[in-house]
């Protein structure tokens, strides 16, 4: 699958139901900045959802975080072949970190959940 397709609509978690199922039946891993829920699916590709609480910041701040997360995942396309539903929850500590340390932290979180090598 092509790299740019990662963020097409079929690769995103959308429905509230899907989120709830992943929360209930999936496994989780957490570090200082992120919580990752993941669960195998039968689609042959992965779907990813983001969850950024209002406690993190105002609207423009949350948008910025989501943009940067998408950029990080775009560079790192190995997630797609896993066929998983993934939810990435952002914690409050992310507020003051810059792009590079965020990327590092996210990779650590994904390694911990054995989604990437």
Partner RNA sequence: UAAGUAAGUCAGAUGAUCGCUGAAGUAAUUCAGAGGAAAGUCCGGACACCAUAGGGCAGGGUGCUGGCUAACGGCCAGUGAAGGUGACUUUAAGGAUAGUGCCACAGAAAAUAUACCGCCGGUUUUUCCGGUAAGGGUGCAACGGUGCGGUAAGAGCGCACCAGUGCUUAGGCGACUAAGCUGCUAGGUAAACCCCACUUGGUGCAAGACCUGAUAGAGAGGCGUAUGGGGCUGCCCGUCCCGCUUCCGGGUAGGUCGCUAGAGGUAGAAGGUAACUUUUAUCCCAGAUAGAUGAUCGUCUGAAACAGAAUCCGGCUUAUAGACUUAGUUAAUUU
Partner RNA sequence: GGAGCUGUAGUGUAGCGGUUAUCACGUCGGCCUGUCACGCCGAAGAUCGCGGGUUCGAUUCCCGUCAGCUCCG
Q: Which is nearer to RNA, 100 or 117 (CB)?
A: 100
Q: How far is the CB of 8 from RNA (least distance, A)?
A: 6
Q: How far is the CB of 38 from RNA (least distance, A)?
A: 16
Q: Which is nearer to RNA, 2 or 117 (CB)?
A: 2
Residues forming contacts to RNA in the complex (CB under 7 A) are: 3-5, 7-9, 12-16, 19, 49-51, 58-61, 63-64, 66-68, 70-71, 74, 98-100
Cα–Cα distances in angstroms (integers) from residue 107 to residues 21, 70, 93, 112, in the given order: 24, 13, 16, 8
- For residue 18, give every residue at least 6 positions away whose Cβ sits within 8 Å of its Cβ, in sequence order, or none: 47, 49, 85
Q: Which is nearer to RNA, 64 or 114 (CB)?
A: 64
Q: How far is the CB of 79 from RNA (least distance, A)?
A: 15
């Amino acid at each position: 699958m092509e790299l740019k397709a990662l963020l097409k609509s079929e690769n995103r978690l959308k429905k509230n139901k899907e989120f709830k199922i992943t929360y209930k039946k999936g496994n989780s891993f957490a570090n200082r900045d992120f919580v990752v829920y993941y669960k195998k699916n039968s689609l042959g590709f992965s779907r990813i959802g983001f969850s950024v609480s209002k406690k993190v910041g105002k609207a423009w701040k949350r948008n910025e975080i989501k943009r940067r997360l998408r950029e990080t995942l775009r560079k790192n396309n190995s997630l797609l072949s896993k066929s998983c539903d993934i939810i990435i929850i952002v914690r409050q500590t992310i507020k003051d970190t810059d792009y590079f340390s965020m990327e590092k932290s996210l990779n650590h979180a994904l390694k911990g959940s054995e989604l990437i090598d």
